[in-house]
Amino acid sequence: MTKKIALITGANKGLGIEIARGLGKAGLTVLVGARSEERGEAAAATLRDEGLDARFLHLDVTDEDVVAAAVKQVGEQYGRLDVLVNNAGIALADGDWNTSELTVATTRKVFETNVVGVVSVTNAFLPLIRESAAGRIVNVSSEVGSFGFMTGDSHDFTAMQPGAYGASKSALNMLTSSWSKEFKDTTIKINAMTPGYTKTDLNHNQGWRDPAVAAGAAVNLALIGEDGPNGGFFQDGNEYFDTDVVPW
Ligand code: NAP
């Protein structure tokens, strides 16, 4: 049987490399998307040293020309893409994370990567995903983009102002839902997930979840079968939710 091909954006560290590791262990060929050749090659080499089939793919999600070149390369090498995990993301704020302190420049930067970047990569790779027998797309979102979660009063995050970062993940959630309607009668499935508050550079390693564990929901959603969900928002082991379904 031909090996499935998975592309993970921002896969040189944090959750991205763990998602790549999980999919590599599941037997997929993993394309380690990274904007830095040095960091991406190093991550791919680490995964290869563990016996996984991992290759670096140059991919800055904010650069349309780079995205187009990546699509061309994957098309020429494999002719299709089975799994796309939109993981690359940034969290920026100004001052003390007060919404009133948010600058236009910061807002633009966050949306450019977390929202526009996902539209750019997903739509550019869609022709190759349509060549897969069962394309799977996973968007790495956040519970701080969930209106249901952030407007509740039962947890410590309620008081937090998620600012441009949270708003970008709300936008990503709506895009996920929107794409899912288009894919309804196809073999493609798209879902969003949140890893929960995870120890990575994004939060200066303040998160308490282990990235290898937190990556689990993304790996599972990338591997769902024909009977799997389309257009849902999920988590895996986050203490704030009773089920694996996250409120929009
Ligand atoms: P991280 O360790 O900071 O990793 C972020 C990754 O995204 C890095 O590989 C980074 O590359 C890459 N990236 C940033 N901008 C990019 C661009 N323009 N093009 C390509 N790659 C780019 O953070 P993380 O926690 O693993 O974050 C991964 C995802 O999880 C993000 O979408 C984040 O919003 C989401 N998330 C994280 C948490 C958490 O608690 N950690 C919670 C909820 C959701 P460089 O190394 O080149 O900067």
Tell me which CATH code domain 5-234 carries. Answer: 3.40.50.720
Ligand 1 touching residue 140 (CB < 6 A): yes
**Cα-based torsion angle of the residue sequence 132, 183, 238, 28 in order, rounded to the nearest 10 degrees:** 0
Ligand 1 touching residue 62 (CB < 6 A): yes
Centre of ligand 1 from the C-alpha of residue 231, in Å: 22
Centre of ligand 1 from the C-alpha of residue 158, in Å: 23
pLDDT at position 240 over 80 = no
Q: Which atom of ligand 1 is nearest to the CA of 114?
A: 32
What distance in Å separates the CA atoms of residue 17 and residue 47, rounded to the nearest whole number? 9
Centre of ligand 1 from the C-alpha of residue 201, in Å: 8
- For atom 32 of ligand 1, the residue with the nearest CA is 89
Return the pLDDT at 53.
98
Whole-model pTM above 0.95? Answer: yes
Q: Report yes or no: 50 and 30 within 8 Å, Cβ to Cβ.
A: no
DSSP codes joined into one string, 79-145: S--SEEEE--------TTS-GGG--HHHHHHHHIIIIIHHHHHHHHHHHHHTTSSS-EEEEE--GGG
* pLDDT confidence bin for 152, thresholds 50/70/90: confident
The SS3 of residue 200 is coil
- Helices 37-49 and 14-25: crossing angle in degrees, nearest 10, is 40
Cα–Cα distances in Å, from 4 out to 27, 113, 163, 176? 8, 27, 37, 22
Q: pLDDT of 162-208, one tens digit each? A: 999 999 999 999 999 999 999 999 999 999 999 999 999 999 999 99
What distance in Å separates the CA atoms of residue 212 and residue 215, rounded to the nearest whole number? 5
* pLDDT confidence bin for 237, thresholds 50/70/90: low
Q: pLDDT of 58-115, one tens digit each? A: 999 999 999 999 999 999 999 999 999 999 999 999 999 999 999 999 999 999 999 9
Ligand 1 touching residue 36 (CB < 6 A): yes
pLDDT at position 1 over 60 = no
Q: Report yes or no: 202 and 89 within 8 Å, Cβ to Cβ.
A: yes
Ligand 1 touching residue 238 (CB < 6 A): no
The residues annotated with a catalytic role in the active site are 165, 169
- For atom 9 of ligand 1, the residue with the nearest CA is 10
Domain locations in the chain as residue ranges:
5-234
Cα–Cα distances in Å, from 61 out to 97, 124, 125, 169, 205? 25, 11, 12, 16, 23
Return the pLDDT at 155.
72
Q: pLDDT of 129-145, one tens digit each? A: 999 999 999 999 999 99
Ligand 1 touching residue 132 (CB < 6 A): no
Q: What is the mean pLDDT of the chain?
A: 95
What distance in Å separates the CA atoms of residue 123 and residue 125, rounded to the nearest whole number? 5
How many residues make up the chain in this entry? 248
What distance in Å separates the CA atoms of residue 139 and residue 248, rounded to the nearest whole number? 14
Q: pLDDT of 45-61, one tens digit each? A: 999 999 999 999 999 99
Q: Who contacts 130 (Cβ-Cβ below 8 Å, separation ≥6)?
A: 186, 188
Return the pLDDT at 73.
98
Centre of ligand 1 from the C-alpha of residue 1, in Å: 33
Which residues, listed in sequence order, are joined to residue 84 by a DSSP beta bridge? 7, 137
Centre of ligand 1 from the C-alpha of residue 196, in Å: 13
